[in-house]
A and B are shown apart, each in its own frame.
Chain A
Amino acid sequence: MLELRGVSKRFADFGLTDVSFSVEQGDYYILLGESGAGKSMVLETIAGLVAPDTGTILLAGNDITNEKIQNRKIGLVFQDHAVFPHLTVAENIAYSLHGAKLSKVEKHEKVKAVANELGIGELLARKPGTLSGGELQRVALGRTLIQQPAILLLDEPLSSLDTRLKGELRRLLRSIHRRGQTILHVTHDYEEALSLGTRIAVIHRGTIIQSGTPSEVFLHPKSEFVAHFIGVKNFFSVKLATKDQAVFADTCNNIRIRVVTDTTAGEGYILIRGEDILLSAAAVETSATNNFSGTVVEIVPNAGGIEVTIDAGIELHALITRESLEKLDLTAGKTCWVHFKASAVRYINK
């Protein structure tokens, strides 16, 4: 549907190098990378605001590399929304309808429909200066969606919002995607990537270094950078279940892990930090609700201490000190116990 082939762009101190990826119809594609990695540049290149030095951009099979910005069927929502301050909400949303062969009434109907869908139907007569950050982001979305873009490009759409609004907007984006809208979303937040994305590409210093499904990228980071950037070794795709009012996350191989979350059902991911996993040589009574026995697979020293990999039905990575390692006398093949608290398990809803 959207394909970038070897797109490069050089600036004095920055650039894109051989960026290639393809977004399929109906994907919620996440471009994940640190700030300054070139994410926004990729979006601006696709939208036509920046012309690439080399490479091709294809949209639905057509080469749009040199197409005029206004003729591409691409919607771009800017990081800071870029709502026009001198126009009302309705005028902002209707901006792209100029030139469309519609009567005034039809235009108004269209604007109203989009605004209602985004929950800003009451704000149509207001000026942007009187709106909150979340409302402005919705106006920017509505303004773009009304053009029915072939693909919707989102540049860090949640970064300027507080936690509550983030949740609301995530739900909104998910519902827009479910309606069939193909989305390319740029972010530096892996939680956002996991929560929304159906495919993820990791970009670093202007190059795509890995792409795939969230599980592929998070479970099998191809490079040290990806592993480090993602920063989680204990990452599992799970299904939630409740039993005796306690919430459990079941992994694909039926390991049941107690979690603390507001959600009680659904599918998602869990993350456990290596630092939060305790090891013991024998079964001991602790306050932790997750206790498993397993065998030590590997012991690798790294910058934060010693990383011990234990096979307990699922592969868990614990980060311990050299002293602890010596005290427990752990070696590969030995049996040991793994403990972690339910509150140490981070659940991210898909």
Chain B
Amino acid sequence: MKKISRQSAVGSRQSAVTRHVSRKTCKLTQRFTSIQATFLLLGSLVLLFIVAPLAGMFLNTTPAQVFETAREAEVRNSIWLTIYTSLAGTLVFSVTAIPLAYLLARKRFPLKKLVTGIIDLPVVIPHSAAGIALLGFVSRESALGKLGSAIGLDFVGHPAGIAIAMAFVSIPYLINAARDGFSGVPVRLEKAALTLGASPYRVFFTISLPLAWRNILSGLILMFARGMSEFGAVIVVAYHPMITPVMIYERFGAFGLKYARPVSVLFILISLTLFVLLRWLGKEKDGEEGLSDKVTK
């Protein structure tokens, strides 16, 4: 008798607990718990922190000012220079970065941890320091500089130097994204392609690269974007010709906040449009592959 009553007591306590829990889960779906409300508040603050300065700058600039600035040839040339140097740096260095990413995803080799650390170096060092290092590397006295001089190319103060500086600080984004992409490609698909008579090169270009493409594209866009926004490394290597981030800094130094704003707004608008467009194009392309990708991974 005693045993039975104790059991039933336990039973009723348990059901009370489950009832309590189920009421709570109900609540979760309906509104925020106190911790979520706190996090929502903190999260909103951080969003505000990002949006407010930008919004302030946009509100302090009239469309007429932006339009006026866009008509300046100096500004237009500078924006164009920024876009194409970053694009060129991204494309040229992708030829070496993508194969390295593939090796990192597929092979185990001694000192791999060290290599991965080296790849992340440009992200963690001050970019002005990176610029100083690069300047020594590409200056006329260096081996690369001499090589450049021989074919009439002086990296310092030249778009080529700018592209190198941009690529230096932004290449980790591409390598890491591409490595993640290649890691996601099942090795057995490559093996299958090999047994179907494909050479390792054909396997890379027809299987590994297309299947990792989404990540690689994302890395390319990120590298391109990061390159365009680079200031510290570029200003050391090439103050002139003037990329837009340097021009913004110069206008601020020479004329003050008010004069630096319209260029900033214009540059941000162009950058945003460009990246939204690129993302959209990327999505368009692999939209049809979305389903199959999900199935295999």
- How many angstroms from the CA of A11 to the CA of B192 in the assembled complex? 22
On whether A129 and B195 interact (CB within 8 A), knowing A82-B186, A86-B289, A98-B202, the answer reads no
Interface positions of A (Cβ within 8 A of B): 44, 47-49, 69-71, 74-76, 78, 80, 82, 84-86, 95-96, 98-99, 127-130, 140, 143-144, 147
Which residue of the partner chain B has the closest CB to A136? B295
Contact B293 A49 (CB under 8 A): no
Contact B195 A47 (CB under 8 A): yes
- How many angstroms from the CA of A80 to the CA of B191 in the assembled complex? 13
Contact A96 B196 (CB under 8 A): yes
Interface positions of B (Cβ within 8 A of A): 186, 188-189, 191-199, 202, 206-207, 210-211, 288-289, 291-296
Contact A86 B197 (CB under 8 A): no
**28 A-B pairs (CB sep. < 8 Å):** A44-B191, A48-B194, A48-B195, A49-B191, A69-B194, A69-B195, A70-B197, A70-B199, A71-B197, A76-B195, A78-B192, A84-B189, A84-B193, A85-B189, A85-B289, A85-B292, A86-B210, A86-B292, A86-B293, A96-B196, A96-B198, A99-B197, A127-B289, A127-B291, A128-B296, A129-B294, A143-B196, A147-B197
Which residue of the partner chain A has the closest CB to B293? A85
- How many angstroms from the CA of A127 to the CA of B293 in the assembled complex? 10
Which residue of the partner chain A has the closest CB to B294? A129
The B contact surface, by secondary structure, is helix
Quick one: which of A78, A85, A130 contacts B211, CB cutoff 8 A? A85
Residues on A with C-beta less than 8 A from B289 are 85-86, 127
- How many angstroms from the CA of A76 to the CA of B186 in the assembled complex? 16
- How many angstroms from the CA of A127 to the CA of B197 in the assembled complex? 22
- How many angstroms from the CA of A48 to the CA of B188 in the assembled complex? 13
Which residue of the partner chain B has the closest CB to A49? B191
- How many angstroms from the CA of A75 to the CA of B294 in the assembled complex? 27
Residues on B with C-beta less than 8 A from A127 are 288-289, 291-292
In the A-B complex, list the 6 residue pairs whose CB atoms are closest, starting with the nearest.
Answer: A129-B292, A85-B292, A82-B192, A96-B196, A129-B291, A85-B296
Residues on A with C-beta less than 8 A from B188 are 78, 80, 82
User: In the complex, how many angstroms separate the beta carbon of B186 from the nearest chain A beta carbon?
Assistant: 7
Quick one: which of A75, A96, A98, A128 contacts B295, CB cutoff 8 A? A128
Residues on B with C-beta less than 8 A from A74 are 195
On whether A130 and B291 interact (CB within 8 A), knowing A78-B188, A85-B211, the answer reads yes
Contact A70 B294 (CB under 8 A): no
Residues on A with C-beta less than 8 A from B192 are 76, 78, 82, 84, 140
